[in-house]
Structure 1
Amino acid sequence: MPGTRLDLDRIRAARRVIDPVFLDSPLYRCEPLERELGCRVSIKLETANPVRSFKGRGTELVVTGLAGRGERAAVCASAGNLGQALARSGRGRGIDVTVVASRFAPAAKLERIRALGAHLELVDGDFELARERAVALARERGVRLVEDSLDVETCEGAATIGLELVDAGPFDAVLIALGGGALATGVGHVLKTLAPGTEVIAIQPAGAPAMARSWRERRVVTTESADTIADGVAGRFPIPEVLDDLLLVADDAVLVREASIVAGMRLFLEHAGLVVEPSAALGLAAVLEDPARFAGQHVVTIVCGSNVDLPAYHRWLGLGD
C-alpha cells in the first residue's frame, strides 16, 4: 500500500519472529450470531493466547529488535493489554519492562501485568497522563519507549492477522476496533494490498471519538475527555503518523453508542459463549446500529481482547454475582 509506513515483506517476515502461540488464531462462522444480526458473521478470535489479546503479535517484534540490539529495558504506557503483552514478550527475552497505567484501569489487567513480571507504576489520571509519565521515565532512564501504534512494529505485528484473513477469504467487510490505530492500520494495510475488494471498517465508541473524528475530518482532532466502558480504545490524542496510515486503508470510521457495545458483549456471551471486553464488541455494535448496511454480507469481526474486570462485566450485562 503506497504511502503507509508499513511494508508487506516485513509483515510476512514477522511470522517467523512472532511466538506461534499468537499466530493462526481461530477463525470461524458463528451461525447463532448470524440469526440475530441478519448477515453472515465470522469471528477472528484474538483472545485464545496467553495475554488474551492481539497485542502479543506486535510486542514480539518489538522485543526481538531490542534483544538483537543488546538493549535490556523498555517502558510503555498501557490501558492494560499492551502492558501484559510487552511484559510476557520481555520476560521471554530478558528485557526489563516497566508499564505505566492508570490506577483506574481494570484491576484484572493490572494484576496480570504484575504477574507477568513487569514493574507497574500507576498514575492518578487517564491513559494520556500515563503516556506522559512513560515518556518521562524512558527519557530519565535512557531506555526504549514502546508506543503502541506509533511504533511500526506494533502495527506490522497486528497486520499478520490480515494475512490470515486474506488466506481464509474472501469477505465483504472486516470490522476492526479503533483505538490508537495499530490494529486497524495493520490489518487494513494487508487487506487493501491483497484483497482490495474487502471493506475495512474501523469502529470507535461515541464516548471516545478522537480517532474516528480525525479520520472523518482528515486532520488530528483531540478531545478533552473520554467517557466509555471500552477503556482499551479510549485515547484522546491521535498520533498524526497513524492517522495518515488510517486515511489510506480505512473505508469508514464508525461511532457506536455504549448501549450497543453492551448489547454486543451480551450477544457474544449468549450466542458464541465468549466473554469479551467492551472494545472487542465494537464490531457487533456497528452491525446492531446499522443492520441494513450489512444485510446479506459476510463480515468478520476481530475479537481483540477478553481481559475483563468480572464485577464490572456482571454490572454492565446485569448478571448476578
Structure 2
Amino acid sequence: MLNTRLNLDRIRAARQVIDPSFLDTPLYECDALAGHLGCTVSIKLETANPVRSFKGRGTELVASLLADQGRSAVVCASAGNLGQALAWSGRRRGLDVTVVASRRAPTAKLDRIRALGAELELVEGDFDTAREQAATIARQRGIRLVEDSLDIETCEGAATIGLELATGTPTFDTVLIALGGGAMATGVGHVLKTLLPAVEVICVQPLGAPAMTRSWHERRVITTDSTDTIADGVAGRHPIPAVLDDLLQVADDAVLVQETSIIAGMRMLLEHAGLVVEPSAALGVAAVLEDPDRFAGRHVATILCGSNVDLDAYHRWVRR
C-alpha cells in the first residue's frame, strides 16, 4: 500500500470532472522512433488539447472545486503551461484568473495566457520568484493560491494519465516522465505503482535544473541557486517537501540529461514522429539517447507533456 497524499478513488472520480477534451489522449507505438532508439517506444500525446499540455487535467479539478465553493478569483505562479490551463478552466467557470510569471518565460506562453483572458503579472527573476509574488497577491486579495504539485488536485488530475496508460493497448515495462515540480511524476507514478507495480517509473530532469532529482537521490530537499536549461517548464529550484515524500514512494529512479540530448530528442520527435514539442516533452527521448544500453530491447512509454514553444527558438534548436 503506497503512503502518498494521492487517492486512487479520487483519481478515478476526477475523470467525471475533467473536460473530455483533455482525456483519453493518443497512446501508440511509434515504430519510426523505435528504429533509431533501439527499443520499442510508445508515445502518450498530451499536446492534443485546448492548452497543448497536460496541465488542464489538474486545473479542471481546481476550477471546478472553486466554482462549487462560490469562489470568484484565483492566482497562480506559472512557467507558462499551468497559467494557460488555469486561464482556460477558470474562464469556463466565471473565475477571475491572475497568473504571475517570469519575464523570461517563452513569449508564446505569455501571449496565450493573455489571450485566454487572465490577468498576467510579470516579475524579474525565475519561477520561484513568481511563486513568491503569487503568494503575496493571494494574501493581499484574499483569494485562492494554486500551487502546482503541492495542491493535490494538480497531482490527481495529472494522475488520470496513469489510468489511461494502465488500461491502454500497448504493454510497456518502463515509463519515462518529465520531472519538474512533481505533479505529473507523483500522479502517474502513484497510479502505475498501484495498478502495474512491475512497471519501472523513471523520472527525467535537465542537468541544468537538477533540484528535484538530487533531492530524490539524497532523500531530502536539495535546493539550487539557479537553473540553466531550455526546458523552462521543469526549471524549479526549491522542491516541495510533501511532493518529494510522494515521489520517493513511486519513482524507481531519477536521471539527469544534457541540453544537447534534449535538443536531439526534439529533433527526433519532429523528424520521425512529425511532432513539435517543447523541451520538457523531449526529456524521455533524451534519457534513452544518453543510456541506450539500459533501454535496449525494452518497451518504453514516454509522456509528451507539452508543445507550447516559441517557434523562433524551436527552429534554432532543431536546425543545429
Moved over 6 A (4+): none
Deviation of 1:3 after TM superposition, in Å, equals 1.2
Counterparts of 2:85 and 2:319 in 1: how far apart (Å)?
Answer: 30
User: Within 5 Å, which residues of 2 pair with 1:209-288?
Assistant: 209-288=210-289
Q: CA RMSD in A?
A: 0.7
Looking at structure 2, the residues matched to 147 and 119 of structure 1 have their Cα atoms a distance apart, in angstroms, of 17
* C-alpha separation in 1, matches of 2:3 and 2:79: 29
Aligned counterparts of 1:196 and 1:63: Cα–Cα separation in 2? 32
CA contact (8 A) 2:2 2:190 kept: no
| Deviation at residue 237 of structure 1 after TM alignment | 0.1
Aligned length: 319
Residue number in structure 1 paired with 2:54: 54
Helix, strand or coil for the counterpart of 2:181? coil
Deviation string 1:274-296 (CA, Å, 9 cap, x unpaired) is: 00000000000000000011111
Q: 2-side partners of 1:171 and 1:200: how far apart? A: 11
Partner of 1:139: 139
Contact kept in structure 2, 1:34 and 1:41, CA below 8 Å: yes
Q: Which runs of 5+ in 2 are unaligned?
A: none
Amino acid of the residue matched to residue 302 of structure 2?
A: T
Q: Show the counterpart of 1:15.
A: 15
Question: Are 1:200 and 2:201 an aligned pair?
Answer: yes
Q: Partner residue of 1:101?
A: 101
Q: TM-score, normalised by structure 2?
A: 0.99
Given residue 47 of structure 2, which amino acid in structure 1 is its aligned partner?
T
Deviation track 1:161-186 (CA, whole Å, cap 9, x = no partner) reads 00000001531101000000000000
The alignment-based identity, stated in percent, is: 77
How far apart are residue 214 of structure 1 and its match? 0.2
What TM-score, normalized to structure 1?
0.99
2-side partners of 1:114 and 1:27: how far apart? 31
Q: Is the 8 A contact 1:55 1:85 kept in 2?
A: yes
* Corresponding residue number in structure 1 for 2:297: 296
Describe the SS at the equivalent of 1:204.
Answer: strand
* Counterpart-to-counterpart distance in 2, 1:72 and 1:250: 37
2:315 alignment counterpart = 314
Instruction: Give CA-to-partner distance per residue, 1:258-309, whole Å, 9 cap, x none.
Output: 0000000000000000000000000000000000111111111100000000
Say which SS state the counterpart of residue 254 (structure 1) adopts.
Answer: strand
Q: Is the 8 A contact 1:176 1:184 kept in 2?
A: yes
SS of aligned partner of 1:308: coil
The one-letter code matched in structure 1 to 2:267 is R
Is 1:39 the equivalent of 2:39?
A: yes
Counterparts of 2:19 and 2:3, CA distance in 1: 29
Q: Does 1:77 pair with 2:39?
A: no
Aligned equivalent of 1:114? 114
After TM superposition, give the deviation of residue 44 of structure 1 in Å: 0.1
Q: 1:30 corresponds to which letter in structure 2?
A: C
- Cα distance in 2 for partners of 1:277, 1:67 equals 31
CA distance in 2, matches of 1:149, 1:87: 17
Amino acid in the other structure paired with 1:259: T
C-alpha deviation, 1:315, in angstroms: 1.1
1:181 partner amino acid? G
- What secondary structure sits across from 2:281 in the alignment? helix
Q: Distance in 2 between matches of 1:315 and 1:34?
A: 25
SS of 1:300's partner is strand
For residues 177 and 50 of structure 2, the distance between their equivalents in structure 1, rounded to whole angstroms, comes to: 21
Q: Distance in 2 between the 1:222 and 1:124 partners?
A: 20
CA contact under 8 A between 1:170 and 1:198: conserved in structure 2? Answer: no
Does the 8 Å contact 2:189/2:250 carry over to 1? yes
For 1:281, the aligned partner's letter is A
Q: Kindly indicate whether residue 162 of structure 2 is the aligned counterpart of residue 178 of structure 1.
A: no
Q: CA deviation at 1:104?
A: 0.8
